[in-house]
Structure 1
Amino acid sequence: MKKFLLALSLLSLTGTAVSADVLSDRKALMKERGQLTGALSKVVKGEEAFDAAAVLATLQAMQDNGARLDIDALYPEGSNSGDTTAAPAIWEDPDGFKAAEKTFQDAVEVAVADAPTDLDGLKAKFGPIGASCGACHQTFRIRKD
């Protein structure tokens, strides 16, 4: 019985640690995504010069970021508390959240497949990427002021 209780206690501690890691992992991915989006936004706004190779590298990094965002693994039941801006809608409508993520990933995939060669091309490709981020934030993110 003591071994069972010890194992149960260890399992409980492991579950807490995994939850904390899940929270840290998803926050890191979203922070990275925000930085990548911000870098492209500066180019779109004319704050940074257009460089086709740098833009493509950023888009490819966004694509990699999307590939690493495993919603089932990073947003498990019970990971909706603590220091997070993840909205309850993620767990209430997981299919909607997955669809929103797919919209982002599809927009990035299109941009990578037909990489922008000039600023106008980037603006055309960045529009759907930015729109997908904004739409997801409206429903699936809690805004902290």
Structure 2
Amino acid sequence: MRLFIFATAALTALTMGAHADPLADRKANMKERGSLLRVLGPVAQGRADFETATVLDALEKLNANAQAAIDVDALYPEGTESGDTKVKATVWSDRDGFKKANDDYTAKVAAAVEAQPQDLESFKAAFAPIAASCGGCHEVYRN
């Protein structure tokens, strides 16, 4: 019984702490996303060599990152639209559109992982929708 109580308390603490600072959490998520895209983008543009293991690893990490940011309401709650942030007010005024853009991005990353690209051409085909999704979202929802 003590173990159950301890486990419940630990899970509650972890859950509550997961989005204790949504602004910091989403900034950290986007910084990680950006660092992974700085690995993948140059490969897709032909400025870096295609290495299967590197690309697959970065795609897996990008997928984990996308899954971590799937709860838009937790990462972008009302009251976090000001301060040290680059998001536009449209994140809140077009909430459904923003959620759809996030879901679209998450699906495209998952599809790229599922494709398991083994050469440059298959990687470019899998990565192009991700890049387009990022750009489209930034145009509407980011300053």
2:110 alignment partner in structure 1: 109
Q: Secondary structure at the residue paired with 1:125?
A: helix
Identity of aligned residues (%): 47
Mapped to 1, the partners of 2:89 and 2:108 lie a distance apart of: 25
Aligned length: 125
Residues 29-69 of structure 1: CA distance to partner in whole angstroms, max 9, x if unpaired? Answer: 01111111121011112222111111111111111001111
Please say which structure displays the higher CA radius of gyration.
Answer: 1
Task: Say if 2:105 and 2:134, in contact at 8 Å, map to a contact too.
Answer: yes
1:47 alignment partner in structure 2: 47
Task: Say if 1:19 and 1:79, in contact at 8 Å, map to a contact too.
Answer: no
Mapped to 1, the partners of 2:19 and 2:109 lie a distance apart of: 29
Which residue identity is paired with 2:59?
A: L
Which residue identity is paired with 2:110?
A: E
2:124 alignment partner in structure 1: 123
Please report how far the alpha carbon of residue 20 of structure 1 lies from its aligned counterpart in structure 2 after TM superposition. 8.0
The alignment status of 1:32 with 2:36, answered yes or no, reads no
Mapped to 1, the partners of 2:46 and 2:135 lie a distance apart of: 21
2:13 alignment partner in structure 1: none
1:57 alignment partner in structure 2: 57
Mapped to 2, the partners of 1:124 and 1:114 lie a distance apart of: 10
Which residue identity is paired with 1:24?
A: A
2:3 alignment partner in structure 1: none
Structural RMSD (CA):
1.6
Q: Secondary structure at the residue paired with 2:58?
A: helix
Which residue identity is paired with 2:72?
A: I
Task: Say if 2:19 and 2:74, in contact at 8 Å, map to a contact too.
Answer: no
Which residue identity is paired with 1:58?
A: A
User: Unpaired segments of 5 or more residues in structure 1?
Assistant: 1-17
Mapped to 1, the partners of 2:39 and 2:140 lie a distance apart of: 24
1:74 alignment partner in structure 2: 75
